[in-house]
């Protein structure tokens, strides 16, 4: 059994989606970051950086924070969603790192300035909207002629998709990125993604372009 401490954010959803895809038994514990529960001393023991998600694998005793590390661990534990051949393995890690170093931090800043604090910092709004557009362009080009980011469905897709699911927060029109839109809708329709999206509690439905 795996214990997962999480919340309804892209980083939290990465791991709950992966656990649902793997079919592993797990318990989700809500850490309500809107009430600053991530600063609770007990949670600090699991996640020294005071960020969700955090995980304990009760089978092995492994405790991990950071969504990317958790996903790599689960992929290696189960032998799924991370190719074993050298090229596929490192290509998947390459795009996982791209998500963690680009998509996550910069789209997160776009949320902060474009959705939650509009009009307060025009320079920041312009900067992070432009970077959001650039990153969508990178992903759109990568998906040209490919069903998934690295050929087969992998942790690279699971890590990136939850950030794209907030495209409206980033003021992005998915029609401008047809390859991203096709990929996004296909993954949104996966039953495991539908389940993992709503962990740790029922929230609004997954946004689908044109709905």
Contact yes or no for 4/30 (Cβ under 8 A): no
pLDDT of residue 206: 77
Instruction: List pLDDT tens digits, range 61-101.
Output: 999 999 999 999 999 999 999 999 999 999 999 999 999 99
* Cβ neighbours of 166 (radius 10 Å): 17
- pLDDT of residue 204 exceeding 90, the answer is no
Task: Domain ranges for the chain, please list them.
Answer: 2-78, 86-190
Instruction: List pLDDT tens digits, range 104-160.
Output: 999 999 999 999 999 999 999 999 999 999 999 999 999 999 999 998 999 999 999
**What's the rounded Cα separation, in Å, for the pair 192 and 201?**
15
- pLDDT of residue 202 exceeding 90, the answer is no
- pLDDT of residue 39 exceeding 90, the answer is yes
pLDDT of residue 201: 78
Q: Mean per-residue pLDDT for 35-56?
A: 94
Coil/strand/helix, residue 55: strand
What is the helix (H) or strand (E) element at residue 64, kind and residue range? strand 62-65
- pLDDT of residue 211 exceeding 70, the answer is no
pTM, full prediction: 0.94
Pairing of β 2-6 and β 54-57: antiparallel
Instruction: List pLDDT tens digits, range 151-196.
Output: 899 999 999 999 999 999 999 999 999 999 999 999 999 999 999 9
Q: Which CATH number fits domain 86-190: 1.10.420.10, 3.30.2130.10, 1.20.1250.20, 1.20.1050.10?
A: 1.20.1050.10
**What's the rounded Cα separation, in Å, for the pair 15 and 6?**
9
Going across the sheet that includes 62-65, the strands are 26-30, 2-6, 54-57, 62-65
Q: Any residues with CB less than 8 A from the CB of 60 and at least 6 apart, and which?
A: 77
Q: Which CATH class is domain 2-78?
A: alpha beta
């Amino acid at each position: 059994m795996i214990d997962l401490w999480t919340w309804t954010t892209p980083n939290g959803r990465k791991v709950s989606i992966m656990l649902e895809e793997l079919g592993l038994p797990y318990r989700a514990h809500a850490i309500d970051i809107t009430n600053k529960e991530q600063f609770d001393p007990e949670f600090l023991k699991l996640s020294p950086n005071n960020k969700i998600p955090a995980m304990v694998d009760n089978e092995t005793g492994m405790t991990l924070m950071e969504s990317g590390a958790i996903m790599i661990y689960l992929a290696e534990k189960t032998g799924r969603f991370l190719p074993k051949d050298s090229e596929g393995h490192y290509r998947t890690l390459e795009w996982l790192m791209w998500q963690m170093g680009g998509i996550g931090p910069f789209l997160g800043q776009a949320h902060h300035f474009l959705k939650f604090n509009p009009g307060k910092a025009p320079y920041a709004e312009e900067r992070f909207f432009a970077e959001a557009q650039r990153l969508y362009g990178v992903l759109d080009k990568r998906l040209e002629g490919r069903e998934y980011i690295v050929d087969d469905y992998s942790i690279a897709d699971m890590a990136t998709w939850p950030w794209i699911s907030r495209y409206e927060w980033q003021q992005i029109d998915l029609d401008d990125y047809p390859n991203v839109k096709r990929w996004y809708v296909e993954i949104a329709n996966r039953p495991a993604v539908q389940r993992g999206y709503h962990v740790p509690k029922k929230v609004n439905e997954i946004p689908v372009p044109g709905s």
